[in-house]
Structure formats: structure tokens, C-alpha cells
């Protein structure tokens, strides 16, 4: 996933809607390539320049700076942190993936960077290197968040690359999500809501309250 993020960033493209279902294997073979899809919300950018726009994307993977309306390509790196947490536990770190939390609560959790490795019975099976990798990506200040290229140098990924077993075997030993859980993971895709921005949905919820 990080390789593909690094690649599009090197070409001056921000995806802006990275989530689990936007990565698909090309076929059913054991060595199938993982591919990034759905560039409907992607945008060209210039290095060093911030994007200024309404918050768009899928709420549970949106970076805090996107909610604030000023962001760069590292918003995609935040999304990889969310996806990794989800893959290793079966739940998103900030709520909002088919759960009961209202969008305002999810937004507040994201803006504060409020997440924990709970419950212990799940995360006790996950290595400290994996937890540190997630923590390094879910930093609310993007200037302190690694780039996609920098994140690829993490200790966790380096150790996995040096092992003989497949990534699938590593995921089973360093995570808790079952195939059934992965099939049940729900997303709240704003793209399917008449191209509404997250800000539009928040305003709608406030009016209903």
C-alpha cells in the first residue's frame, strides 16, 4: 500500500480517499499484485504547497488537517495508518466504520488524535513494532508525520521484508481480523451521497439535532 502511495505522490497526485476497499488484488493467485483503485477524488499537487478545500473523502480515514481545510499529500499517509489499525484489529481507531458513533464524534476524535490500542485482549497479540508504526502515521500534525517514502523505512516493515513467510501469514500472527470480519467492514462513503463534502454532512447532522 505504501509503495503505491509513494508512487502517486512522486507523480504529484494525492488520492484523498484511501480506504480498505480501494485496494484490490488483481487476481486470486497467492502472489497476486495489490492495486490502488478509485481516483475519483484524487488531485494533482505541487510539492510544498497546501491544498485548500472542503473536507472530502471517507470520514473514518480522513486526516485532521483535511477537516481543517488545509492539507498536503501526507493526508494519504494518515489514511494508511487508519487502514493498518483496521486490518490488525477489525475496528477503525476513531470510530465511524459502520459503528454507532455520529460523524461529529468521529471528527472530534480525529482532530484530537484520540485513539487507543484497545481492547487489550486484541492488541496484546500485535507486536510493539506494529503499534509504533501505526502511532507514527496517526500524528495530528502533518509536519511531524512521515512521508510515504519515510514510512516504508519503519522497523516493522523492515522486519517483515526480511522474513520468509508471506504477508498473509504475518497478518494472521500480528493481527486479529478474520476473513468474516473483513467482509463485514462497512464504510460511509460520501462519494455515494451526491458528491456531498464532509462539511455538508456535518451541517446536515447539526440541523437534524
What are the residue boundaries of the structural domains of the chain, listed by start?
Answer: 2-208
Residue 153: pLDDT band with limits 50, 70, 90: very high
Is residue 168 scored above 80 in pLDDT? no
Does the annotation mark 164 as catalytic? no
Q: What is the mean pLDDT of residues 163-168?
A: 53
Mean pLDDT check: name the lowest of 33-47, 130-144, 186-200: 186-200
Q: What is the pLDDT of residue 78?
A: 98
Q: CB neighbours (10 Å) of residue 110?
A: 27
Q: 98: Cβ–Cβ under 8 A, 6 or more apart, which residues?
A: 184, 185, 186, 187, 188
Which CATH class for the 2-208 domain?
mainly alpha
Residue 198: pLDDT band with limits 50, 70, 90: low
Q: What is the mean pLDDT of residues 74-93?
A: 95
Q: What is the pLDDT of residue 167?
A: 46
Residue 103: pLDDT band with limits 50, 70, 90: confident
Among candidate residues 17, 72, 76, 91, the one labeled active-site is 17
Residue 175: pLDDT band with limits 50, 70, 90: low
Determine the Cα–Cα distance for residues 17 and 61; give it in Å rounded to an integer: 8
Peptide bond into 33 cis (omega under 30): no
| Statement: the pTM of the whole predicted model exceeds 0.75 | yes
Q: What is the pLDDT of residue 10?
A: 96
Count how many Cα atoms sit within 13 Å of the Cα of residue 26 in the half-sphere of its side chain.
6
* Cα torsion 176, 178, 184, 185: sign: positive
Task: Give the 3-state secondary structure of 97-150.
Answer: CCCCCCHHHHHHHHHHCCCCCCCHHHHCCCCHHHHHHHHHHCCCCHHHCCCHHH
Residue 99: pLDDT band with limits 50, 70, 90: low
Q: What is the pLDDT of residue 190?
A: 34
Amino acid at each position: 500500500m505504501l509503495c503505491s502511495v509513494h508512487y502517486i505522490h512522486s507523480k504529484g497526485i494525492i488520492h484523498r480517499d484511501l480506504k480498505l476497499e480501494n485496494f484490490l488484488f488483481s487476481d486470486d493467485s497467492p502472489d497476486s499484485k495489490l492495486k490502488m483503485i478509485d481516483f475519483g477524488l484524487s488531485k494533482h499537487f505541487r510539492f510544498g504547497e497546501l491544498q485548500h478545500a472542503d473536507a472530502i473523502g471517507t470520514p473514518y480515514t480522513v486526516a485532521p488537517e483535511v477537516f481543517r481545510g488545509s492539507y498536503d499529500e501526507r493526508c494519504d499517509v494518515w489514511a494508511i495508518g487508519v487502514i493498518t489499525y483496521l486490518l490488525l484489529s477489525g475496528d477503525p481507531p476513531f470510530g465511524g466504520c459502520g459503528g454507532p458513533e455520529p460523524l461529529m464524534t468521529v471528527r472530534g476524535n480525529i482532530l484530537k488524535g484520540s485513539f487507543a490500542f484497545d481492547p487489550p485482549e486484541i492488541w496484546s497479540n500485535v507486536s510493539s513494532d506494529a503499534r509504533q508504526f501505526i502511532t507514527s502515521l496517526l500524528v495530528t500534525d502533518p509536519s511531524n508525520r512521515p512521508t510515504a517514502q519515510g514510512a516504508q523505512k519503519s522497523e516493522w516493515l523492515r522486519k517483515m521484508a526480511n522474513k520468509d513467510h508471506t504477508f498473509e501469514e504475518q497478518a494472521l500472527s500480528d493481527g486479529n481480523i478474520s476473513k468474516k470480519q473483513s467482509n463485514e467492514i462497512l464504510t460511509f462513503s460520501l462519494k455515494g451521497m451526491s458528491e456531498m463534502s464532509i462539511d455538508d454532512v456535518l451541517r446536515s447532522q447539526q440541523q437534524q439535532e
